[in-house]
Amino acid sequence: MSWSSPGGPGRLAGDGAVVARAPAKVNVHLAVGPLRSDGFHELRTVYLAVSLFDTVTVRPGDGLSLTVTGEGTTGSGPDAVPTDRRNLVWRAAELLAERAGVPADAAITIDKSIPAAAGLAGGSADAAAALVALDALWATHATRGELTALAARLGSDVPFSLLGGVALGSGRGEQLSPVLARRRWDWVLGIAGEGLSTPAVYAELDRLRAAGRVPDGEELSSPDPVIAALRSGPVPALAAALGNDLQPPALSLRPDLRRALRAATGAGAAAAVVSGSGPTVAALAEDEESAVRLTAALAGEGVYRTVRAVHGPVPGARLVG
């Protein structure tokens, strides 16, 4: 494969900057199978991309450098965002450069709105946006298929961050089938407390299963009711179909989340579910107006660090400008 191109870089601004953004996701259905021999769990999940975006700006540079601004830049636990090779964006840049046969030269800035380690795929969004932005900066002309293959090597959720919309995910989450959903869904995201480590939540699920405290996961629950509801509604149908096998382990590690879930339904959400590995609570609203009311009510409850009204589906990683 040769992606090197003699064409000039795809610059969108005067100083040679290229800007891309990518959305957060909510898993409206997350069925987790047993632990596989490769350390991952087999999944059946329905991803929904929602309107909370991280922005990645890349400029010509000498070697790689990374700056992070916005949400999560002061964290010290799992929500701390590293600015070196531990950041998925750094690895995305190295991987794209290597595969395309170009030098990994770029000054990269991530402007975060998606909280880290929150079950919203913030790191995956950054990696997906970086792939799209660097592909333009370096004029590597990768196809969507090639970018998706690189995304899958970076992390289970990165292919979905590229794709966006609604998709059924299988394998470890990286094998995607797009789902057509015509209507808009309104949600309120409540970020409760400090970040949770995804591997720790999966490990807690394995522990609860070994102790017989939750079903063993040999039979993955069907995503069909969620997909049918997402396509056409109504809201109570989606509310009834939401499910997440990572919710019990997230609650086990963070018992306070119970109160956060109750606060959401108590304030009028049609349903509330932990998003991915948590600790974000995704509260389903009847419509946009209800979401605004719910946001105000939940902001006053004091159980969440941040409360944001969002809607989905929205597109995946795209150039901006």
- 117 appears as a binding residue in the annotation: yes
User: CA 277, CA 285: separation in Å to the nearest integer?
Assistant: 21
- 157 belongs to the catalytic site: yes
Q: Is 14 annotated as a binding residue?
A: no
Phi, psi of 13 (to 5 degrees): -135, 165
Question: Does the annotation list 115 as a binding residue?
Answer: yes
Q: Residues in contact with ligand C5P, total (CB under 6 A)? A: 12
- The one-letter amino acid code at 109 reads T
- Among the listed residues 54, 79, 111, 157, the single catalytic one is 157
> Minimum Å distance from CB 222 to ligand C5P?
18
Confirm or deny that 121 is annotated as ligand binding: yes
154 appears as a binding residue in the annotation: no
Strand partners, 1: none
Q: Which is nearer to ligand C5P, 122 or 165 (CB)?
A: 122
Contact set for ligand C5P, span 134-193 (CB under 6 A):
155-157, 172-173
Which segment (3-11, 132-140, 198-206, 212-220) binds ligand C5P by CB under 6 A?
Answer: 198-206
Measured between alpha carbons, how far is 280 from 30 in angstroms, rounded to an integer? 14
CA distances 5 to 73, 104, 105, 222, 318, Å, are 36, 15, 16, 45, 21
* The one among 19, 24, 26, 43 contacting ligand C5P by CB under 6 A: 43
Scan residues 58-97 and list those touching ligand C5P (CB under 6 A): none
CB of 206 to ligand C5P, least distance (A): 9
Interface of this chain with ligand C5P, residues 200 to 219, rule: CB under 6 A:
202
Q: Enumerate residues 6+ apart whose C-beta is below 8 A from 171.
A: 42, 43
Which region holds residue 256: left if phi is over 0, alpha if psi is between -120 and 50, else beta? alpha
By CB under 6 A, name the one of 10, 40, 214, 253 that touches ligand C5P: 40
CB of 276 to ligand C5P, least distance (A): 10
Q: Is 25 annotated as catalytic?
A: yes
- Minimum Å gap between C-beta 117 and ligand C5P is 11
Q: Which residues pair with 106 in a beta bridge?
A: 64
C-beta of residue 20 within 8 angstroms of C-beta of residue 320:
yes
Picking from 174, 173, 160, 96, the residue whose alpha carbon sits closest to that of residue 125 is 160
User: Applying CB under 6 A, which residues contact ligand C5P?
Assistant: 39-41, 43, 155-157, 172-173, 198-199, 202
